Chain A
Amino acid sequence: MSSAAPAPGRSIPAPVITPETRPFWEAANEGKLLLPRCRSCGKVHYYPRARCPFCGGEADTWIEAKGEGEIYTYSVMRRADPPYAIAYVSLTEGVKMLTNLIGADFDRLAIGQKVRVVFVPSESGQKVPMFTPLLP
């Protein structure tokens, strides 16, 4: 999985990293997208938290996602300078995550389009997962 840069003129606020979410962010710096899985019910959830939102069990195990999915929905913020695309991406593991779409012609984005994860440095240097279309 590759690294990428944000659009020129755009800086990405650094994520707040907590004891609950540190493994996710450390893996992101190594180019891996981790998802939390519950010890009790086995379900994967998002955004990551220490207690399973489905059954309340401990969700302190992590699986590595394939980093592939499709656009569930998106919107290009035309009023921003530079414009950017916010989206929910539906991962092959079944959860949807809020993200940005980069490296794309914003006028050719479409719901259902296949995307893959890329890791983009934020203001602190911490990398955050974003997605780019497989066929730009």
Chain B
Amino acid sequence: MSIKGKAFIVGAYEHPTRHAPDKTVAQLHAEVAIGALEDAGLRKEDIDGYFCAGDAPGMGPLSMVDYLGLKVRHVDSTDTGGSSYLVHVAHAAEAIALGKCRIALITLAGRPKSEGMATGTAPRAGNPNLPELGFEYPYAPTVVNTYAMCAMRHMYQYGTTSEQLAWIKVAASHHAQHNPHALLREVVSVEDVLASPMIADPLHRLDCCVITDGGGAVIVAHPDVAKSLKRPLVRVIGAGEAVKGQLGGEVDLTYSGAAWSGPRAFAEAGVTPADIDYASIYDSFTITVLMQIEDLGFCEKGAGGRFVADGNLISGVGRLPFNTDGGGLCNNHPANRGGMTKIIEAVRQLRGEAHPAVQVKDCALALVQGTGGSLGLRHGSATLILERT
């Protein structure tokens, strides 16, 4: 059994805010839920499945289902960090295929900017029951220095350069200039990235994503529901999941879980990387993008540096237009979780509703790739393949 064609993404909404000091997290979840319902042309009463992850306040879905006033017969609060929302789309498609629900709402929201969180640079203690805690926390791992270790190894093993990594930010900034909601709209150069302060060798400040408040939501529905609505049809045709950690001590930081989730999604969809017109690729850091591009098979392992250079990720210029909203690197990274906005921009592209300056011509097949956690410690990976029909 496959989810291919069993569900459609019928609603998508990205909150325009990037700084919400006067709103609560629950309120932001509600605002994006309403936004996605309006986008789809559905009412709140139509929702019979609800999906959320660790950014939602409360125990799993309990508080948000109550707050939103939903009456649901299926819930799922799988949390794989920033990739959770891709997993939710896949799980929603599974639930719809099995008749467990027909119209599933997935929400994300958070306020790391307003809460003054040192997202990437402060070690996080975590639950004392974490089995790895005693062997990690004393060494002060942070989000940025654990990704930096991936970049350092990639440079050593494959000759990847800081200039090549910088091209990923440059491409994102070329897209963000057209997005009025993007936090960073200024086009930057390779030199700008290299001149920005070093945070954790070899990652500069401009190799890092932004910190923003905000959120987003999507609605996944049965094909019959999708066909009854007035929006362009975006079909889920493939999905893959994976979790990769330290492999019992046989640590290998040169590849991500996308090397496992990607082939699963491509196999289910029956397509290849060469068929993809647009890709949303999780971009917590420039190195995150580079590793996933290799692992998904857009180029050979180790050739990612050459692949991303010289504007190859810029829409209308290069071979693989990516993150045309500006991505997490320039536009938005609400709740420090970039998966939702990745899905939303892919939906825009397939509907032909991206900004005209970045819209991929005849965009029929899109890939969404998410990771969550840290590529340098342990992470979840999820891949979705979506098709315009």
Contacts and interface: CB of A to CB of B under 8 A. Distances in A.
Nearest to B204: A78
A46 B248 contact: yes
B33 to A, nearest CB: 37
Interface string A106-132: 000001100000000010000010100
Interface in B122-166: 123, 125, 128, 131-142, 144-146, 148-153, 156
B251 A72 contact: yes
Interface string B77-113: 0000000000000000000000000000000000000
Contact of A16 (B123, B128, B197, B198): B128
A49 interface: yes
Contacts of A80: 121, 140
B145 A47 contact: no
A75 interface: yes
A97 interface: yes
Interface residues of B, number: 41
A74 B138 contact: no
Contacts of A12: 138
Interface residues of A, number: 45
Interface string B238-254: 00000000111111010
A32 B104 CA distance: 54
A16 B133 contact: yes
A123 B150 CA distance: 29
B70 interface: no
B8 to A, nearest CB: 40
Interface in B248-278: 248-251, 253
Given A15-B135, A99-B139, A100-B140, A75 B250 contact: no
Contact of B140 (A46, A73, A78, A84): A84
B26 interface: no
B137 A75 contact: no
Given A17-B134, A47-B131, A76-B201, A53 B149 contact: no
Contact of B153 (A18, A48, A72): A72
Tell which of A74, A77, A78, A128 has the most Cβ of chain B within 10 Å: A77
Contacts of A13: 123, 125, 137-138, 140
Contacts of B140: 13, 77, 80, 84, 86, 100
B184 interface: no
Contacts of B200: 75-79
Contact of A100 (B139, B152, B203, B377): B139
A45 B145 contact: no
A86 B198 CA distance: 15
Nearest to A53: B248
Given A16-B128, A17-B134, A77-B200, A97 B249 contact: yes
B134 A18 contact: yes
A91 to B, nearest CB: 8
Contacts of B134: 15-18, 21, 25, 47
B138 A73 contact: no
Nearest to B142: A77
A12 B141 CA distance: 12
A88 B197 CA distance: 24
Contact of A87 (B131, B135, B137, B149): B149
B135 A73 contact: no
A44 B246 CA distance: 13
B138 A45 contact: no
5 contacts: A73-B156, A86-B149, A87-B149, A98-B141, A111-B156
Given A72-B153, A75-B152, A75-B200, 11 more contacts: A13-B137, A13-B138, A15-B134, A47-B132, A73-B149, A73-B150, A74-B152, A78-B201, A88-B149, A88-B253, A112-B156
Q: Which 6 A-B pairs have the closest CB atoms?
A: A95-B249, A46-B249, A15-B134, A75-B148, A53-B248, A47-B135
Interface of B: 121, 123, 125, 128, 131-142, 144-146, 148-153, 156, 197-203, 246-251, 253, 377
